[in-house]
Amino acid sequence: MKIIETKKLSKVYTHDFIDVEHGRIKFNFFRRTVALDGLDLEVGEGEIFGLLGPNGAGKSTTIKILMGIIFPTSGTARIMERPLGDKEVKAKIGFLPENPAFYDYLKGEEFLDYYGQLYGMPRSVRRKRIDELFELVGLPDHAPNLPLKGYSKGMIQRIGLAQALLNDPKLVVLDEPQSGLDPLGRKEIRDIILRLKDQGKTVFFSSHILSDAELICDRVAIVNRGRLVAMGELSHLLSPKIKEYELVASGLSRESLDVLEKHARKFIERERDVLMILEKEELVKEALRRIVAENASLVSLTPRRETLEEYFIREVARTNAPREEVRA
Amino acid sequence: MMKVLAIALNTFKEAVRNKVLYFLLIFALLIMGFSGVISDLSIAAPEKLIKDLGLAAIDFFGFLIAVFVGVYLVYTELDKKTIYTIVSKPIDRYQFILGKFFGLLITIYVNMLIMSIFFFAVLYFRDATDFDKVMKAIYREVAPGQFEPIGNPQVQYYLYHLKQFIIAVGKGIATVFGYSEPITHHLMRVIGMSALGLAIITSFAILYSTFSTPTLSAVFTFLTWIIGSLCEDILRYAERLAQKAGGVQNLVGPDLLKYWFAQVAMHIVPNLALFDKRTEAVYGPWEVATPNIHNVPIDWVSVVYGLVYVAGVLCLASMIFNRRNFK
């Protein structure tokens, strides 16, 4: 079953006729901004799917359309093979918006209880589930009785995640779940996402933290300027070829160093050792031969493949060829 | 239903944290307390002044709460983007609107209840501390025309007032739950009608805030209230214009415009005058010499009119909210 499917999804924002900007009146007759331009996406069951793109690419717009917060200008989208807005489907979705803000006068527990009621969960189920969730998302013991006003940004993100998991959803949609978190917090979110996958849930999230996305995603889609740039499994998108080798050695003779320096793409002599980046396999073999011959020591040898970040930057740059803002 | 109730209760929790609410409440209570004090200046019937001022304060401050608290409720959810997580839950948008409406209504009614209790307490207290009654309580008539104090008159005087104060508060609470004495007869009905009128205003505050900013919504709500309260007078004025000209067909220019404006306003804007039974309760019908107690029959037509109006406005608000994109 396709969990999410969009076809030619587009969103065009029409500006207000008159805007007041920095105390000046600005007229925007018929000015429009294309936020999303014919996006086709497919997300299968049980996947961790990453929606990646630079700021303003249309990631949040896509998620807002899927969550029924805004309506598409054209195109269609279906979740769990039902049209958007279907209440039965909504009951099986958990959603965490970007930089979430909640009712700061409610205590952690009251807040989750309120949202539990919106899911139509009976009181006993809510009680049990809320206790589980506080533990799952790793909130401290005093969190349930602390008003959200007193929560730190990381805690808000966690309780936001907790509200998204209240209904034990089949599909979890997270908009920039890692923004504003420290490295430890980011790792915990990654672990939670992986655990959700183990439980058979589908996770659809947007991110611009590519290293994290690379670690956990089964499939990704890259969007830029409202258009799909690439979509597929990471292993297919990224070239499996080794791009270069990173070699660290110590105790090589001056002569060998001079020879290698000439051919290396990057060559850094450090206090104890030398780091070189070599592009050809022959050069690596040559370096190894010299290390053995001179009885020098090899500290490390790492083959490097293309990273998602490099792929992303290349693809985004390719599609960034100037496109006029649409004026009708 | 559970979802609407959950939203309503959360709205109530949010509204009671609004400091404006307390300023309004304190101000209303001050006015009522003050009415008790200045009622001594009234020549004929002190309780009329208390009633008039008190009932007006309950209605007006209820209205101010609807405006100043109400117009922010929907806006805050949009501004803080809490609406994102609400609409993604399995609820319909109309349920959200209903929840907001009932939450605001609960807030207003709780305040009206507090104001009413205070109002009745002032009324009972003023009645019980009438000069004659106080004198009767602290002096005993030993022989015709001869009085002697019961104990220390000064102590008795304060004790009597304290006792009457406690009794008045108790009676005030009882009155809002159906108890009545001749002095408060039918007043709960007046407040009830007022509450229904406020439900209409509340629904308008919610309607406006589904598509405009708080300031504009407040202005719109205020205008609706003014036109609604005056629309019978406006209509009367229009009829007079027509009469003076010798028929509608003879009206020309600005007068014709005024006439049609009044006609249109009368049919679009709620006729809030229907829910204002204060004059009737305090002063009685125009043509009858005024006894102190007036019968205020329940006006079922107005009740139905009010309920239908509220339902209509909420439908409209839901329709607008249903199509909104939340940026």
Structure tokens at B130: 């009438």
pLDDT digits (tens, 9 = 90+) for B163-209: 999 999 999 999 888 888 777 778 888 899 999 999 999 999 999 99
CA distance A67 to chain B (A): 5
Over range A246-273, report the average pLDDT.
89
Tokens 């300027």 correspond to A225
Instruction: Using CA coordinates, name the residue in chain A closest to B8.
Output: A114
DSSP B256-323: HHHHHHHHHHHHHS--GGGG--HHHHHH--TTS---S-------HHHHHHHHHHHHHHHHHHHHHHHT
Give yes or no for A106 touching B (CB within 8 A). Answer: yes
pLDDT at A42 over 70: yes
The interface pTM score, or ipTM, of the predicted complex is 0.83
Pairing relationship of beta strands A74-79 and A24-27 according to DSSP bridges: unpaired
B12-46 per-position pLDDT tens digit:
998 888 888 898 999 989 988 888 888 878 776 77
DSSP string, B135-193: HHHHEEEEETTEEEESS-HHHHHHHHHHHHHHHHHHHHHHHHTT---GGGTTHHHHHHH
Cross-chain CB nearest to A117 (options B6, B81, B83) = B6
- Say yes or no to pLDDT of A101 above 50: yes
pLDDT at B52 over 80: yes
Taking residue A274's Cβ as centre, other Cβ atoms within 10 Å add up to: 21
Cβ–Cβ gap A69/B83 under 8 Å: yes
Q: How far apart are CA B208 and CA B205, in angstroms?
A: 5
The stretch B90-107 carries a mean pLDDT of 94
Q: pLDDT value at position B284?
A: 65
Average pLDDT over residues A294-310: 86
Contact across the interface for A117 and B2, Cβ inside 8 Å? yes
Pairing, β B146-149 against β B139-143: antiparallel
Residue (of A4, A14, A3, A19) closest to A73 by Cα position: A14
Phi, psi angle pair for A242, to nearest 5°: -80, 130
Q: Which domains does chain A have, with CATH numbers?
A: 2-237 (3.40.50.300), 242-305 (3.30.70.980)
What tokens appear for A222 in the block? 């890259």
Pairing of strands A297-305, A242-250: antiparallel
pTM over 0.80: yes
Query: Using CA atoms, how far apart are residues A214 and A223, in angstroms rounded to an integer?
Result: 16
Coil/strand/helix, residue A91:
coil
Q: Mark yes or no for CB contact A117/B13 under 8 Å.
A: no
Structure tokens at B273: 């005058």
Cβ-based contacts of B85 with chain A (< 8 Å): 95-97, 100, 102, 115, 160, 163
A118 and B14 in contact by Cβ < 8 A? no
The beta-carbon neighbor of B326 closest among A70, A95, A102 is A70
Residue of B nearest to A114 (CA): B6
Would an 8 Å CB–CB cutoff place A100 in contact with chain B?
yes
Residue A270 carries which side chain, given as an amino acid letter?
A: R
User: Could you please report the per-residue DSSP string of B13-58?
Assistant: HHHTT-HHHHHHHHHHHHHHHHHHHHGGG-SS-HHHHHHHHHHHHH
Q: What is the pLDDT of residue A324?
A: 45
Q: Mark yes or no for CB contact B85/A103 under 8 Å.
A: no
Element spanning A153, H or E: helix A153-165
Rounded Cα–Cα distance for residues A274 and A290 (Å): 14
* Least-confidence region, from A120-129, B43-52, B62-71, B90-99: B43-52
Q: pLDDT confidence of A64, banded at 50, 70, 90?
A: very high
Which residues are A249's β-sheet partners? A274, A298
Q: What rounded mean pLDDT belongs to chain A?
A: 86
Say if B19 is an interface residue toward chain A (CB within 8 Å): no
pLDDT-derived band at A327, boundaries 50, 70, 90: very low
What is the distance between the alpha carbons of residues B125 and A189, in angstroms, rounded to a whole number? 64
Please check the confidence at residue A48 and state whether its pLDDT lies above 90. yes
What is the residue whose two structure tokens read 């679009």?
Answer: B268
- pLDDT band at B291, cuts 50/70/90? low
In chain B, residues with a C-beta closer than 8 Å to the C-beta of A69 are 83-84, 87-88, 325-326
As a whole number, mean pLDDT of residues A234-243 equals: 77
Which residues in chain B touch residue A88, judged by CB atoms under 8 angstroms apart? 90
Q: Is B192 left (phi over 0), alpha (psi -120 to 50) or beta?
A: alpha
Q: What is the pLDDT at residue B150? A: 82
- Residue A250's beta-bridge partner residues? A297
